[in-house]
Every structure is written in structure tokens, then in C-alpha cells.
Structure 1
Amino acid sequence: MPIKTFKDLDIYNLSYKLAMDIFNLAKTFPTEEKFSLISQITRSSRSICANISEWWGKRKHENVFKKFLVDSCGSIQETKTWLDFAHDCNYISGEQHKELMERLEVIGGKLWAPL
């Protein structure tokens, strides 16, 4: 199947699904985390797929192309940190933490493949 839009990219769909799963999980966090952990973890996880869609729109410009891949990878690392906080604050289980971290690793590996 030919790739016509960023929504046809496997990496976009994986990262979008991850962001939605983190968003739904974050809804279970305590309300006092609304303006800190919840806001940060949803923002950083959404930034991964947002940068991929922006990258797609600017893909003909190699310098810009690489910048958005690097930005997406930075958002992956930030999301991992927020997941560590969620785990250490007992908002998510060890199993949830491991599964989300593994998904982030897969996405990160796919992001670096074009380089």
C-alpha cells in the first residue's frame, strides 16, 4: 500500500496509539497531578506523533527532516522520565511501566531507521 499521508506511516500510528493509551491511563492519576505529571506526560507523548506529522510535511528538506526525528526522539526520552515518575509514585504498575517503555523503545528504533 503506497504511503500518501503521514497517517499511512506505521511509526505515526504506533506513536499516536501510545499517546492515546497514556492519555487514558493518566486520567486515573490523582487530581493533584493535573497540572504537573498528567499535563507533562500527555504533552510529551503527544509530541512524538505530532513531530512525526510535522516531519512528514517538511520531509523534502533534509535538515528539517532530521530535526523533527531528533525532536521526536527527545520526546520519547522525556516520556520515559514521566513514566518513571508515574511508576515510582505508584500511579502505574510495574507491568504497565514495562509495557509502555517497550513500546517507546520500538518507536525509537523505527525513528532512527531512516537515518
Structure 2
Amino acid sequence: MKSYRDLDIYNLAYGLAIQVHKMTMSLPAYEMYEQGSQIRRSSKSIKDNIVEGYGRRRYKQDFIRFLVYAHSSCDETSSQLALIDEIHFESKGLTELISEYEILGRKISKFIDYVDKHWNEN
């Protein structure tokens, strides 16, 4: 692995952040700076924490800490999506996106376990 760009979790988080950003542009104007802003920040935080953790990969505990932050932001994004879906899409429009964030959360969790058990601190 030569870069954080080689991480599946980064690429998935990046792509999902783009989808979330585009979805929020269709929210009512009064939500653009409330719910829309919050979910844009949480979704982008996932990829950013993966990048920052990778930058500190030399120190296993720092790497894990930022991956945990990424996982927490993923949970926050899932929660925000569920609320937006219920309020604005009548629980029909964001099911696939919510599922993709659940998959991302599981992948991040597995990667945290991998780093904890197998990461070389050199």
C-alpha cells in the first residue's frame, strides 16, 4: 500500500461523500444550512479521518484513533441519513445509501481490527 488512495475504505468513503453532497443539494432551502450542512460535514469527515490516520500510520495507536473517528463519523452519517430519509423522502429514497454506509462501517471496523492485530510499528 503506497497511499491512502489504495485503501478500499477511503475510496468508498470518498464516493459516498460525493453522493451525500449531491443529495443534499436537492433538500429544501431551509435544510441546506441545517441538516444538509451537518451531513455533508460528517460524510466528508470519514474520508478525512482515514487520510489523517494513514498519515500517522507509523504510530499504530494514532492510526487506530483516527480510524475510530472515521467509524464514529460513519455512524453519525448513517443516523443523519435515516432522519433525512424519514423527513424528506418518506423512508423510500435513501435506503441504498444508508445500506452503503452500513457496509462502509463494517469495513472500517474490520480494518481497525486488522491494524490492531497486524500493523507493524516501525
> What TM-score, normalized by structure 1, do the two folds share?
0.90
Identity of aligned residues (%): 36
Specify the alignment match of 2:40 in structure 1: 42
The unaligned stretches of length 5 or more in structure 1 are none
The unaligned stretches of length 5 or more in structure 2 are 114-122
Q: Name segments (4+ residues, structure 1) moved above 4 Å.
A: none
Specify the alignment match of 1:13 in structure 2: 11
Q: How many residues align?
A: 112
Specify the alignment match of 1:103 in structure 2: 100
The 2-side partners of 1:71 and 1:59 are apart by: 15
Specify the alignment match of 1:56 in structure 2: 54
Q: Secondary structure at the match of 1:113?
A: helix
What is the CA RMSD across the aligned residues, in angstroms? 1.4
Asked if the contact 1:11/1:107 (under 8 Å) is kept, the reply is yes
> What TM-score, normalized by structure 2, do the two folds share?
0.85
1:56-96 deviations in whole A, cap 9, x for unaligned? 100111111111111011101111111122112124752x3
Computing the radius of gyration from Cα coordinates, the structure with the larger value is 2
